[in-house]
């Protein structure tokens, strides 16, 4: 099965504060992260593919470290194609690539795309990116 997600913002403690953007109603970051891990793993199996369209974790004041994010991502089921978002750092992708592991089916846990990925499913082409595309009015294209 293939899944798509974006903007998990693991570790983003500022989302726990009252705001008008994307408030999350958890007592602390650990509780928020664990709720997302549990929800993910209740749906995604070990051999599924998850396309994460950017903003994996948030690093105000350089926390979490790349290693902390890696340890958290290893708790998630499935293979992940990680597409860089505006809050993702190249250093994280390099760290994940260096420590990438092979899962039981012989495939790597992480794959990486810097800007986006073109996918073909069921006679459709999907361009997956963190950023909106300005395509104008085009039939049969969903942005």
Cα–Cα–Cα angle for 2, 40, 16, rounded to 5 degrees: 130
What DSSP element (H or E) covers 116?
strand 116-121
Largest CA distance in the chain: 45
Residue by residue, pLDDT tens for the chain (143 residues) are: 999 999 999 998 887 777 666 677 888 889 999 999 999 999 999 999 999 999 999 876 666 789 999 999 999 999 999 999 998 889 999 999 999 999 999 999 999 998 899 999 888 888 899 988 877 777 766 66
Contacts of 122 (CB under 8 A, 6+ apart): none
- Burial label, 136 (beta-carbon count in 10 A; 0-12, 13-18, 19+): exposed
Question: Which value, to the nearest 10 degrees, does the dihedral of the CA atoms of residues 44, 46, 51, 53 take?
Answer: 70
Contact between 10 and 36 under an 8 Å Cβ cutoff? The reply is: yes
Domains of the chain: 2-115 (3.60.21.10)
């Amino acid at each position: 099965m293939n899944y798509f997600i974006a903007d998990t913002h693991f570790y983003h403690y500022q989302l726990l504060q009252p705001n008008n953007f994307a408030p999350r109603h958890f007592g602390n970051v650990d509780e928020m992260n664990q709720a997302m891990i549990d929800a993910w793993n209740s749906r995604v199996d070990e051999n599924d593919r998850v396309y994460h369209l950017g903003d994996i974790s948030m690093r105000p004041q350089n926390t979490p470290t790349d290693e902390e994010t890696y340890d958290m991502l290893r708790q998630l089921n499935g293979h992940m194609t990680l597409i860089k978002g505006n809050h993702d750092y190249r250093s994280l992708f390099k760290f994940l690539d260096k420590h990438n592991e092979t899962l039981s089916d012989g495939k790597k846990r992480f794959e990486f795309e810097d800007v986006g990925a073109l996918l073909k499913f069921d006679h459709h082409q999907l361009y997956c990116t963190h950023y909106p595309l300005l395509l104008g009015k085009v039939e049969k294209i969903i942005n």
